[in-house]
Every structure is written in structure tokens, then in C-alpha cells.
Amino acid sequence: MMTSDISAKMKRLATRDQLTGLLNRRGFNEYGERAFSAAKRNDTPLSVIMTDIDRFKYINDKFGHAAGDAALQHFAKLMSEDRRGNDIVARVGGEEFAILLPGTKLSDATDLADELRQKIGASPLALTGAGVTMTSSFGVATISKNDTSLDDMMRRADRALYRSKHAGRNQVDLESSQIVRRPDGSLMPAGST
């Protein structure tokens, strides 16, 4: 019994981010690969959102590392609030976070990313009696027939995230290899009629 408890505790320590309580990259990959395999096997939608805090270094430099930690915790809380039970939320490194959304199409994931972007901008971090406004940039991707692993999706979402940062931050970009925009602005998979 004691060995089992220690084993469970060790697994939790190995797959959880100690600061935010979210999954870490290892935990995200572990659970994410299972979700990816299920989506491929069942031919169901799967989308991923990559995001990070804009100008995080400024918060650390101006207010100190304790404020940076508070910003990461605040951001993690906002990202994980109101998530569905099968959504996978993780801090995958530094100030970068990911949400894997089983059963979610690209257009719905893009809408969620924009809702989160607005929520983060409207939820200042309380520091030294004043609120510090935080913004975030987002990249969104969806599973494609050519994907062989979760990493394929993650790379596309990561490229979209960096496009949103280079385009001025505090916005959502999406991978474009598998979608086209209809004249009315809605998205559809490439090759659809």
C-alpha cells in the first residue's frame, strides 16, 4: 500500500508543474498522445491552443520574480477555469501554456482562444495594490490526416502563436494548412465543398 502511494506521488510530481498545479510538458504529452491516438482512430476532431504571456520578462524585471510567479499562477487559473473534463491544460514551459481540446473543431477552438484572450486582458494581476494588465498571444491548430503525432499539431500551433506575437501580440492566429475561410468569414476544412 505504501509503495503504491509513493509511486502515485512520484508520478504526480513527474507530470505536474509545481508552481501552477497544471500538467507539465511531460504530462501534457502523455495525456495528449492518448487523445491524439483516439482522435485518429475514431476520426474525430481534435484541436490545440498554444499561448503565452506577452511581455512576461517585463513583469519579472519590473516587479521581481515573485510577481512573475504570481503572474504564471494567475494566468494558469484563467486558462483552466471552466474547462471541460476531457480538456488537457498544461504549462509546457516558461510562460507558455497549451490546451488540447478533444472533439473540438478548429473554428470552435479559435473562438475559445479569442474568449480566453479577452478574459486575460480583462483580469488584471493584483500586484502591490495596483492591477497589472496582462495580455497573451495565441496559436491554434487542428488535427490533420497527415499528422503522425501530437508534435505535428503542436508545431503548427506554435508557428501560429509566433505569427500572432510578431503581428503585434494580444491576438489569435491559426494554422492555415488545413482550412480555408469562406466569403462569410467562417472556416471550413480545405477540400470541402
- Quote the crossing angle between the two packed helices 25-42 and 150-166, to the nearest 10°: 110
Instruction: Say if residues 110 and 172 touch (Cβ distance below 8 Å).
Output: yes
Question: Which amino acid is residue 173, in one-letter code?
Answer: D
Question: Taking the mean position of all CA atoms in its chain, how far away is CA 151?
Answer: 14
Question: Taking the mean position of all CA atoms in its chain, how far away is CA 32?
Answer: 12
Instruction: Say if residues 103 and 44 touch (Cβ distance below 8 Å).
Output: yes
Catalytic residue among 95, 96, 115, 175: 95
Question: What are residue 171's phi and psi, to 5 degrees?
Answer: -155, 175
Known catalytic residue at 95: yes
Residues with catalytic roles: 95
